[in-house]
Amino acid sequence: MPLDQWRSSTPSDEELKVMQREVNRIAKPYRTKPDFLWSLCFLARDIVYIVAYAALISAVKPYVPMALLVPFYSVTMGTIMLGPWVLGHECGHGAFGATQWQNGLVGWLCHSALLVPFWSWAYSHNKHHKYTNHLVLGETHVPNMEGDPVVGDAFPLLRLIGMHVGFPAYLLGFSRARTQADLKTPINRSLLADHFHNGSQTMPTGDWRIELSTVGCILWLCVLGWANQYISIGFWYLGPYLIVNAWLVLYTWLHHTHPDVPHHGPDVFSFIRGAICTIDRPYPWLIDHLHHHIGSTHVAHHLCSDVPHYRAEKLREELKPVLGKYYLFDPTPMHAAVWEVAHACHHVTSLDGTQFYRSKDHKVSKSQ
């Protein structure tokens, strides 16, 4: 359905029950255990891309001015490096290997190499999936309330620039989540809610894997420090690392934020109602290839996050008739969509019921 029709046509509870039943039926054969060796082939492919591209850049580096090479290399290599991040993300959903240790080992290695604490991120990310577009229990890109002092809402360009550091900031505790790990206690904004120890407001207590996640990041920082004696980590790693983070924020932001897509309060929320409020968007073939179609199969992924990426396209096509007019696809080109969302999606006016984003210039009087 065109996205603007959501304002006048939202699914009834009965429609949602039927939809959930049909989704479960169609998805069942896609939810068989992942093929670990096949998944490893995709990881090996991504590593070959990274090594081969680094070798190419190394060969041309003496002949290209650094002022041109640094931004070009950072953007292109960062785009390639998101591939292993996506596969680590699959590990967090149990969609890479057939066993917990397969998913845990590969996910820990992939995400540690990109300075992401794997198990703690997986915990908060699965909360994001369970409570997609939930105004109170949502985890990422939770709408601000009108009047919240968020600079990015007033200056879209600063928000776009902030994409490069938004994900590390989120991991460090600068989150817009509203509740602590118990899903009841409000976040204390005077304290950090980081992902690096299980005493954090947003992490489960007593889970040693949270600390192991942090150990993985520390070990990788040690590797980078050692390597910096021989190569410029600032050039070869830091620039692409920032671009990886920009892609992560871009994907999450664009696929859950639109002026005509609702967010739901506790009184109306259900898993299926939230999951179908994510948006598939078109990406160039090469981006889809490098990123394992994470952006063009986002609706299917939220409905069935345990399905491996190599089954997601076919699943998406089978789910479209079931979702019918409630399947959301926005054909707006990526650059235009970013600017539209940055300008139009600033706040909501309540945490109850069904809410749509408003711009900072569209205010509602307190009497309404």
Rounded CA gap, 8 and 5, in Å?
A: 6
Q: How confident is the model at residue 340 (pLDDT cuts 50, 70, 90)?
A: confident
> Does the pLDDT value for residue 201 go beyond 80?
yes
pLDDT digits (tens, 9 = 90+) for 4-25: 666 667 888 899 999 999 999 9
DSSP string of 296-325? TTHHHHHH-TTS-HHHHHHHHHHHHHHHGG
Look at residue 132 and tell me whether its pLDDT is greater than 50: yes
Q: Which residue has the higher pLDDT, 74 or 346?
A: 74
- pLDDT at 245 (0 to 100): 92
What confidence tens digit (pLDDT) does each residue in 145-162 have? Answer: 876 655 444 445 556 666
Distance CA 345, CA 284 (A): 25
Residue-level pLDDT at 361:
67
* DSSP 8-class letter at 259: T
What is the pLDDT, as a whole number, of residue 205? 86
Average pLDDT in the 237-241 region? 96
Give the mean pLDDT of the chain. 90
Looking at residue 154, its pLDDT comes to 44
pTM: 0.91
From CA 48, how far away is CA 54, in angstroms rounded? 10
Q: Write the DSSP assignment of 114-182 as a string of letters.
A: TT--HHHHHHHHHHHHHTTTBTTT--SSPPPBTT---HHHH-HHHHHHHHHHHHHHHHHT-----B-TT
pLDDT at 69 over 90: yes
Question: What pLDDT was estimated at residue 176?
Answer: 79
Give the best-scoring range by mean pLDDT among 53-62, 145-154, 245-254, 353-362: 53-62
CA–CA dist 31, 39 (Å, integer): 15
Question: Quick check: 342 and 159 in contact, CB under 8 A?
Answer: yes
Q: What is the dihedral of CA 294, 296, 299, 305, to 10 degrees?
A: -20
Range in 47-56, 232-241, 348-357 with the lowest mean pLDDT: 348-357
Mean pLDDT to the nearest integer, 37-41: 98
Contacts of 9 (CB under 8 A, 6+ apart): 1, 325
> What are 272-316's pLDDT values in tens digits?
999 999 999 999 999 999 999 999 999 999 999 999 999 999 999
Arithmetic mean of pLDDT, 46-68: 97
Dihedrals φ, ψ of 186, to 5°?
Answer: -65, 145
